[in-house]
Amino acid sequence: MKLEDKVAIVTGGARGIGAAIVDRYVAEGARVAVADVNVAEAQETAARHGEKAFAVALDLTQFASIEAAVESVVGRWRGIDILVNNAGIFDMGAHRRGHGGKLRKGVRRQREGPLFHTAGNSQAG
């Protein structure tokens, strides 16, 4: 198994591409933190993998949330080897409907999320 004994965080891991990444990483031997703003869906994804995965709440627009997620993973599995910056929400329809606030939040998550999460993760080691 290529990822035997590795610990990964997959942002946006609750569904879609993120959940597929979680499934594949576990199949390759990794332990995976399913990090998502939608904790209920993250728990469902993690539950498919027993002790090899767990859900962690993560809002990439909030640095405190990132720090808490990293601390949770490090506390459980003693470190992080892999960070998958998969999370993203972009609702162009909100812009067309005149909801600029939703568009700005989506752009902020796309722009700042990976930067903040990488910074938070680098302090874990």
pLDDT in tens, 100-119: 566 566 666 666 656 555 65
1 lies in some domain:
no
For residue 93, what pLDDT is reported? Answer: 62
How many CB atoms are closer than 10 A to CB 103? 18
Answer whether 0.85 is exceeded by the pTM: no
Cα 87 to Cα 36: distance, rounded to the nearest angstrom: 8
Below-50 pLDDT ranges, the chain: none
pLDDT in tens, 85-94: 898 765 556 5
User: Which token pair is 81?
Assistant: 């080897």
Which CATH number fits the domain that encloses residue 32?
A: 3.40.50.720
For residue 87, what pLDDT is reported? Answer: 85
Total structural domains in the chain?
A: 1
Distances (CA, A) of 13 to 10, 20, 96: 5, 8, 28
75 lies in some domain:
yes
For residue 63, what pLDDT is reported? Answer: 85
Domain span at 80: 7-122
26 lies in some domain:
yes
21 lies in some domain:
yes
2 lies in some domain:
no
